[in-house]
Amino acid sequence: MSAGEIRQASDGWYVLLRVGGLEHRLWLREPPATDSAYAAELPFDENFEIRTHAARRLWRSLNGRHAGPTFQEMSPQRRLRLVLALRALDGRLEGNSYRAIAEGLFGAKRIPERAWKTHDLRNRTIRLVRTGFDLMRGGYRELLRQVRRRK
């Protein structure tokens, strides 16, 4: 475990393990020892699938194999929407109007002089601000959970 960082906290030891170009984050009850065997303890909670996937990636890395895909790849569209939502949130927290936020996000040329109240970019900006507030209030945790699409 020399390729990483180890930190002690009141509840145990936190280890950042770098194997094969990937970072794995571990929590240990006892100080890490090189001559010990380790086991993964995974609670059967709502994050069980995420934890098992991470444990499997760690096991594969430690055994010299390709870790495999991350649990949930974020699409470029989703990533852009989250970036815009956080930028919109920053604008709103600074006291800017929806119109000013929309100009900052989409450019002043796309914002009409008239009919702003019914324009699509106004509605989109309001939704982005709401998404930003949801993320700020703890919704960012949902990004870790796999989204299941119904067929």
Handedness of CA 107, 112, 113, 119 (dihedral sign): negative
Cβ-based neighbour number of residue 52 at 10 Å: 13
pLDDT of residue 3: 56
pLDDT in tens, 124-141: 999 999 999 999 998 777
pTM (two decimals)? 0.55
Model confidence at 47: pLDDT above 70: yes
Note the residue count of the chain: 151
pLDDT of residue 2: 45
Q: Which two tokens stand for residue 86?
A: 């956080």
Region 7-29 average pLDDT: 87
Residue found under tokens 């996937």: 53
With a CB cutoff of 8 Å and minimum separation 6, the contacts of 134 are: none
pLDDT of residue 131: 94
